[in-house]
Amino acid sequence: MRIDELFASGATHSFEFFPPKSDEESVKLARTLDELEPLRPSFVSVTYRGGRESRQRTFDLVTQIQRGGRLTAMAHLICVGHSRAEMRDILKNYLDAGVVNVMALGGDIPDDASLVASEFNHAIDLVRLAREVGDFSIGVAAHPQGHPRSVDLASDRRYLAQKLELADFAVTQFFFELEEWTRLVGELAELGSTKPVLPGIMPVTTLSGIERMATMGARVPEVLVRRLETAYERGGPPAVRAEGIKAAIELGGQLLEARAPGLHFYTLNQSTATREIHRALFSQP
């Protein structure tokens, strides 16, 4: 299935994974996929951090999922560190493998010194190339709080609207308040962009996660920080986890009520918290 067509059928629910680096991680991910597959996700996506080894792991996992025939897969691509010819070959290989859903990202500078100098400046350049290569369903990244490298929020929104003129949909970085998504969508609409913006969900289940989330580009609001700290005082780490999942369920419910196109769960290759949140929101057994 093409992801851009899935949105026409109602709210989607999707899961994101990262490719394993070891046999142990492979076993863990296989177990997670087995546990989440019964939830019948609309699609699953696989990240790519850059570098030849990571790129191959992403390709192998995406094509393995796609060949299985039970799940629709989306491959993440980053343009940093690639030539146009190299990226054209990557896109053609995905088409040959039957993968038509891709996420076009700028990406961080990879550590792999063997990579050639990038011939792309921004993710929109990768979107343009994908359009040239084939009939892909293309997603791009959106940051409710603004991309960490953006000069200001206004320019961030303008660049995102430009990407969405060529892409089919956006998937957001995780965030924690409904107003962050509604503001993003409203500001894009003012710029003439009405493509689907799929909100990303990831619960804060530890106090240490508060700082980690901020370094990943999504500050945890003070009201949620206080909730988690109060939970810790009441019952330690288990109470923090329960409160974080409760907050994620509340946010997901608010987003669905606000008619978000769906929910995208950042799983960190684990199923337990995702299944709890999904069960509460979608009434799955």
Q: What residues act catalytically?
A: 16
CA separation (Å) from 103 to 187, 209, 210?
Answer: 22, 26, 27
Number of residues in the chain = 285
Neighbours of 98 (CB within 10 A): 11
Which one, of 144, 170, 179, lies nearest residue 255 by Cα? 179
